[in-house]
Amino acid sequence: MTVKVKVNGPIISNDDKWVYDYFEEEATCPNDVLSVLTDNNEDIEISINSYGGLLDSGNEIYTALRNYPGKVTANVIMAGSAASIIAMGADVVKMSPVGQIMIHNVRMGAGGDYHDMDKASEILQKSNKSIASAYEAKTGKSHEEILALMDRETWMTAQEAVELGFADEIMFESQEKPLLVANGANNMINPKIIAKVRELKNKQEKPVAEIKINTDEISDYIDAKINEINDKKNEPVNESPFARFFF
């Protein structure tokens, strides 16, 4: 059995979760994830759709996932900042084709004199080096390469995330495509077939609830059209410059 959990919304502290729940705002705290890590080490599947949040909370989830003996799979829609650290804790990272990963330098608010500002800078730089370790372990890239990517706030598409080693695969790509395609341009049923089915359906004079389409006639027509399409498969196609685009 695979246990599923969502990491959606900002990454927050356990103490603040009740406030988000009160206002019915989506958010994820460490306990939301740690509570599903079972003693019998069942497989865990995490869906991530978050732009990030508190570094400490992200680090806590990351560490728990890395320490979990069972298999952890992360399905990433959006994993930014602290959420990207969580994704790195999975054994397998799968990207939605429309997904993204974003990494950047750690940020914090600070005030005080120049000693305080120097200390804040030191804390930030050491924090960058600490979380870079999570990216290094996943990608195999050097410490310097990772810090450079963080320094320029790097956004990665699904393909880029796989190429750079932040993800292992793109979701759905391994699924088999249908063997029978009526319209090779966009996988839609040939309009002529749709028109013929409608014509045959409209021939019936009975009320809609009692309509019985002659399935043999439709089947014969579709078979003939499929054969016609197959016969023309290897013929040159004169594509219209005004061909429709489907989104």
Please report which confidence band the pLDDT of residue 246 belongs to, taking 50, 70 and 90 as the band edges.
very low
Gap between the Cα atoms of 127 and 210, Å rounded: 71
Gap between the Cα atoms of 153 and 172, Å rounded: 28
Catalytic site positions: 81, 104
Please report which confidence band the pLDDT of residue 224 belongs to, taking 50, 70 and 90 as the band edges.
confident
Residue 212, CA distances (Å) to 189, 209, 222, 223 in order = 22, 9, 18, 20
pLDDT at site 194: 64
Gap between the Cα atoms of 166 and 138, Å rounded: 6
Residue 213 and residue 146 share a domain:
no
Gap between the Cα atoms of 23 and 18, Å rounded: 9
pLDDT at site 223: 73
pLDDT at site 227: 72
pLDDT at site 180: 43
Q: Which residue has the higher pLDDT, 240 or 123?
A: 123
pLDDT at site 59: 96
**177 in a structural domain:** no
pLDDT at site 46: 98
Q: How many structural domains are present in the chain?
A: 2
Average pLDDT, the chain: 83
**142 in a structural domain:** yes
Residues 6+ apart with CB under 8 A from 14: 29, 30, 31, 57
**135 in a structural domain:** yes
What domain range is 205 assigned to? 191-231
Measured over the CA atoms of residue 204, residue 205, residue 206 and residue 207, the dihedral's sign is: positive
Type of residue at 242: F
pLDDT at site 207: 54
Gap between the Cα atoms of 114 and 177, Å rounded: 62
